Amino acid sequence: MATIRFYALKETFNRKPLKFKEKGKHSENFGKNVFNHNAMRQYMTKQAFKSVQNAILHGTKIDRDIADQVASAMKDWALSKGATHYTHWFQPLTGATAEKHDAFFEPIENGNAIEKFEGTQLVQQEPDASSFPNGGIRNTFEARGYTAWDPTSPAFIYGTTLCIPTIFVSYTGEALDYKTPLLKALSAVDSAATSVCKYFDKNVKKVISTLGWEQEYFLIDEAFAKARPDITLTGRTVVGHSPAKGQQLDDHYFGSISDRVLNFMRELETECMYLGIPVKTRHNEVAPNQFELAPVFEETNLAVDHNSLLMDVMEKIGKRHQFKVLLHEKPFAGINGSGKHNNWSLATDTGINLLSPGKTPMSNLQFLTFFINTIKAVNDNEELLRASIASAGNDHRLGANEAPPAIISVFIGEQLSNVLQELKGVTKGKLSPQEKTDLKLNVVGKIPDVLLDNTDRNRTSPFAFTGNKFEFRAVGSKQNCANPMTILNTIVAKQLKDFKTEVDALINTKKLKKDEAIFNVLREYIKASERILFEGNGYSKEWEKEAEKRGLSNNKTTPEALKAKVSKKAISLFEEMDVMTKVEAEARYEIEIEEYTMRIQIEGRVLGDLARNHIVPTAIKYQSALIKNAQGLKDIFGKDYKTIAKEQLELIKTISDHITAIKSKTKAMINERKKANKIEDAEKQALAYCNKVKPYFDEIRYHCDKLEIMIDDELWPLSKYREMLFTR
């Protein structure tokens, strides 16, 4: 009997690339399925259009009758595009997106029917969503949750459904999704940053946070994935020997893209264009069959929605091309994992990127203000920032010598390090006219030239300044960007708020000039944040030691890392910035810690199943063949058979050893699982899964992988690394 792997191989050999014909230019297709500015103009009354624009820009409320007008316009537009259904589209704490479709269709009297969609349906819905994780909130408070329209992210048509981005909250007002706290964090950073901007330009009325994510992923043939229960159930391989050729030649990175993959990418990009996701770059990544897709940056809330949507679109388009898209942070051991760099900055409504040096000393002082405040925010909240990217999948990357370490540090490059050194020496209190001129001309004034040749990039840094933005590189490929973006914008908001208070105090009590006061506060911030700045190799052992001396956290696993989200400091931060209540923060923590446990539990079960029901029986089958062979040799050669069948006899013995080890270790793992399952406290349970159950994974895998390279290739049931990684 042939194995499933055999069928998978046969299928992949017969695959022909599915030709994809682009329909028109990207620029013509861009936003065709989005209810954007243009579509709104065309379909809405002037009054409704104004009201929605005000809601987007200033967060004003939309009246009921205006909502009716908006709904009616949305419906007309959607019907003209062939949509039949609508849905409130939201991001519950499962990490996936959720939708429940309702038809526009409504029967009326006399057996007739109409298409109907009203303001009430647009503004609020009550999905029967009681199965989404809620961390006990809805048990404690109120059973129902509802979704509410987020006008700042435009509605779009996906397939034949009008999707309306919404928040998801409980009836008592607690957030049950990713979007609600994100929107609050964005509003906090807007007001804090706008106040600070007024030191430099009174015309600034709004500051937006910008995000440009870079999505890494693997593509493997769907048939291989089907032949691997671990990929199907966990998104990663829990066993599998590394291939003879891995990524050591670096020949995949930026290499030419195969036809089949290119057709997938082209269809994906075209779909993205219709959905208004401004994807711009695509290339091969370091690992074989690993790729990256990146858009032009956007306002953070929209960028987060677009990334969530993209992950869904990728899977769908992948299926059409018979690819399985692997978004997991570490699908293959020994091969680079996938991340999602989050490029972040702040921009004013006057068109200024606050992390981009300007042309005048004053605009550079503004740049330095935001630059140094961001560094200070990361310094003061490094552990919380680490917690924002904690997940079972990302644990495989962080600190595993190929991705940023679990220690958060900031890389700024040599030139800016020098600028900070000079600023550190600024006199306390009033500055002499000479010092002021000097600072303006020689320190602040020089920044634009310096940055132009600031091309050195440190790939080992988790949080790097890259010329006009910070790049948070430790984010996992599968994660919803909302989590890290909520934390980053919140800590920067808090920092800017404190900065404003301190500068104002110096101006009012010490009678310093505005720029003197700013220099004074920045000087202190530089001194206070020195420990977070690191320019060296983040992967090195020395850095771990050095970071410990500096008092930086190094939380290598999710259960350890997550605690920072419910520390006293974090909760008072969330409350002060009005991002989350204590109840919400604790509920989220509970959900994340339970999710971690469940993921490890599922992986443990899958590994047990593979080892006992796939690998051991295969090993026994092969061993039986060897025994039969040795027996035959004995019949032929009599006593001499021991030297003639030496290899076979050794193999028979080695196979038995591995089988015994797999059996006993699997049993021990199951025992630990049983013990862990009895623990009631969610945190202790996660720790047990992390420290008692998970360590068996590598041990069991070791023996399974040894068997893989020993056993007849034809018998092996699971798709091999070389097949999954090198077939395109």
Catalog residues that contact ligand ADP under the rule CB under 6 A.
210-212, 214, 294-297, 343-345, 353, 466, 468-469
Of these, 184, 341, 376, 469, which contacts Mg ion (CB under 5 A)?
A: 341
- Tell me which amino acid residue 658 is: H
Nearer to Mg ion, 166 or 458 (CB): 458
- Tokens representing 700 are 């069991």
Give which of ligand ADP, Mg ion, none residue 466 binds (C-beta under 5 to 8 Å, depending on kind).
ligand ADP
Collapse the DSSP code of 303 into the 3-class scheme (helix H, G, I; strand E, B; otherwise coil) and give the result.
Answer: helix
Give which of Mg ion, ligand ADP, none residue 499 binds (C-beta under 5 to 8 Å, depending on kind).
none
Q: Least Å distance between CB 381 and Mg ion? A: 22
- Tokens representing 409 are 């540090």
Give which of Mg ion, ligand ADP, none residue 85 binds (C-beta under 5 to 8 Å, depending on kind).
none
Nearer to ligand ADP, 258 or 353 (CB): 353
Nearer to Mg ion, 294 or 579 (CB): 294
Over its C-alpha atoms, the chain yields an Rg (Å, rounded) of 29
Q: Which residue has the tokens 């706008």?
A: 194
Nearer to ligand ADP, 89 or 344 (CB): 344
The single-letter DSSP state of residue 298 is E
- Tell me which amino acid residue 172 is: T
Stretch that binds Mg ion, among 188-196, 335-343, 619-627, 688-696 (CB under 5 A): 335-343
Give which of ligand ADP, Mg ion, none residue 518 binds (C-beta under 5 to 8 Å, depending on kind).
none
Give CA–CA dist 256/152, Å, rounded.
Answer: 39
Give which of Mg ion, ligand ADP, none residue 211 binds (C-beta under 5 to 8 Å, depending on kind).
ligand ADP
Q: Least Å distance between CB 471 and Mg ion? A: 5
Nearer to Mg ion, 72 or 342 (CB): 342
Nearer to ligand ADP, 54 or 353 (CB): 353
Sign of CA dihedral 410, 336, 489, 391: negative
Stretch that binds Mg ion, among 111-119, 131-139, 340-348, 559-567 (CB under 5 A): 340-348
Stretch that binds Mg ion, among 334-342, 508-516, 599-607, 663-671 (CB under 5 A): 334-342
Q: Least Å distance between CB 275 and ligand ADP? A: 17
Three-state SS across 561-606? HHHHHHCHHHHHHHHHCCCCCHHHHHHHHHHHHHHHHHHHHHHHHH
Nearer to ligand ADP, 343 or 479 (CB): 343
Residue 14: exposed, middle, or buried by beta-carbon count in 10 A (0-12, 13-18, 19+)? exposed
Give which of ligand ADP, Mg ion, none residue 344 binds (C-beta under 5 to 8 Å, depending on kind).
ligand ADP
Q: Least Å distance between CB 397 and ligand ADP? A: 17
Q: Least Å distance between CB 346 and ligand ADP? A: 8
- What lies within 8 Å, CB to CB, of 705 at 6+ separation is 239, 240, 241
Give CA–CA dist 633/645, Å, rounded.
Answer: 7
Give CA–CA dist 413/420, Å, rounded.
Answer: 11
Q: Least Å distance between CB 326 and ligand ADP? A: 21
Nearer to ligand ADP, 210 or 460 (CB): 210
Q: Least Å distance between CB 351 and ligand ADP? A: 12
Residue closest to ligand ADP (Cβ): 212
The 284-323 site mask, x for binding Mg ion (CB under 5 A), equals: ----------------------------------------
Give which of Mg ion, ligand ADP, none residue 386 binds (C-beta under 5 to 8 Å, depending on kind).
none
Q: Least Å distance between CB 206 and ligand ADP? A: 16
Q: Least Å distance between CB 212 and Mg ion? A: 9
Nearer to ligand ADP, 149 or 370 (CB): 370
For the chain, how many helices (H) and strands (E)? 29, 17
Are the CB atoms for 304 and 482 separated by under 8 Å?
yes
H or E element at residue 376: helix 361-380
Q: Least Å distance between CB 152 and ligand ADP? A: 17
Nearer to ligand ADP, 485 or 580 (CB): 485
The separation between CA 495 and the C-alpha centre of its own chain, rounded to angstroms, equals 24
Q: Within 13 Å and on the Cβ side, how many CA atoms surround 419?
A: 29
Nearer to ligand ADP, 151 or 295 (CB): 295
Give CA–CA dist 312/96, Å, rounded.
Answer: 8
Residue closest to Mg ion (Cβ): 341
Give CA–CA dist 698/678, Å, rounded.
Answer: 24
Give which of Mg ion, ligand ADP, none residue 495 binds (C-beta under 5 to 8 Å, depending on kind).
none
Three-state SS across 318-362? HHHCCEEEECCCCCCCCCCCCEEEEEEEEEECCCCECCCCCCCHH
Collapse the DSSP code of 211 into the 3-class scheme (helix H, G, I; strand E, B; otherwise coil) and give the result.
Answer: strand
Nearer to ligand ADP, 297 or 721 (CB): 297
Are the CB atoms for 310 and 96 separated by under 8 Å?
no
Are the CB atoms for 379 and 407 separated by under 8 Å?
no
Are the CB atoms for 492 and 576 separated by under 8 Å?
no
Give which of ligand ADP, Mg ion, none residue 494 binds (C-beta under 5 to 8 Å, depending on kind).
none
Give which of ligand ADP, Mg ion, none residue 210 binds (C-beta under 5 to 8 Å, depending on kind).
ligand ADP
Using CB under 5 A, list all residues that contact Mg ion. Answer: 341
